Structure 1
Amino acid sequence: MSRLDLNSIPVVGGTGYPEPFAELVEGRTKQALGDAGGLTQFGVNLVELQPGAASSQRHWHSHEDEFVMVVSGELVLVTDEGETLMRAGDCAAFPAGKPNGHHLINRSWGPGVFLCVGSRIPGDSAVYPDIDLRYDGDTKTFLHKDGSPYPPREPRG
């Protein structure tokens, strides 16, 4: 049977974002459901956002399709078109290579949970239109927009 036990899948927080961009996602945790199920062609994450937390910095991908569906709570989807309130059952899709920066923010009083599905295309890069940040999928590093690297993050403890 391929049923996954959510209670046995680790809940992880943190981010690879360099400072000062990590603060926006404090209060975000995820469970890597796809990894737990042995999936290799696409990722599936169950993500929880505490009040005030964002899913990511606003971004778009060069090669990776993304799909999100709100499972519970109330979240705000922010895209180039503006803001859209999303509740349980609401979905959004972001095709690869379409420069429409997006992320979810929890502006409510309680936690919000969403499912995120994304293709795992080698060499995928991400553009962050609002800040001096881009992700290079070939080197797996965060860079300034001018191409210079950010220093490695210091572990928090």
Structure 2
Amino acid sequence: MPKLDLAAIPQTNATGYPPPFDAAVEGRWYRRLAPVAGLSLMGASHCTLLPGAYSSQRHWHRGQDELVVMLAGEAVLIDDTGETPVAAGDVLAFPAGEANGHCLHNRSETPCVFVAISAGSREADSGEYSDIDMVFDADGYARKDGTRYPAQRIP
């Protein structure tokens, strides 16, 4: 059936980020939509950011496009151009290979909800985190000098 039952999809706040980078996303709760829907050529997650939470560390992808559709509440998009308020109905696009580190921060007093969609090979993807000493690839995380962190990316 094409209509997904969100309540039946497990929700988690798991992250593969190594400490101390994991603390910023403790209030990010998500449901992986693509596997439940049988989608294999794209990723999709239904995300809720609690007040104060970040969607991720500020990052960009070499091999995956990202699209975010805001469903409820408000957040602040933080990217290389500065800060932009976003709210329900807004759509954000991040083309693969564009080195514009980005994330969302919920500075409001209520949760915000969005759907994050990715397209491109996760196995061939890599990227960088703009504000911290971390890069990623299919195997996990490393410092910018190549030294691996003892952490794995969450599928």
TM-score (norm 2): 0.94
What does residue 73 of structure 1 align with? Answer: 73
Which residue in the other structure is 1:126 paired with? 127
Deviations 1:63-106 (A, max 9, x none): 10000011000110001000000010001100000000000000
Distance 2:151 2:131 in 1: 21
Report if aligned partners of 2:136, 2:142 keep a CA contact under 8 Å in 1: yes
Q: Secondary structure at the match of 1:24?
A: helix
SS in 2 for 1:44: strand
Q: How does 1:5-154 map to 2 (within 5 A)?
A: 5-121=5-121, 122-137=123-138, 140-152=139-151
SS in 1 for 2:13: coil
Deviating above 3 A after TM superposition, structure 1's stretches of 4 or more consecutive aligned residues are: none
Range moving further from structure 2, 78-87 or 120-129: 120-129
Aligned partner letter, 2:78: V
Give me the whole-angstrom Cα distance separating, in 1, the residues matched to 2:54 and 2:34: 21
The 2-side partners of 1:102 and 1:13 are apart by: 19
Please give the alpha-carbon distance, in whole angstroms, between the structure 2 residues aligned to 1:120 and 1:5.
Answer: 26
**How large is the Cα RMSD of the aligned pairs?**
1.1
Name structure 1 gaps, 5 residues minimum: none
SS at match of 2:77: strand
How much does 1:119 deviate?
1.1
What is the count of residue pairs matched by the alignment? 151
Identity of aligned residues (%): 48
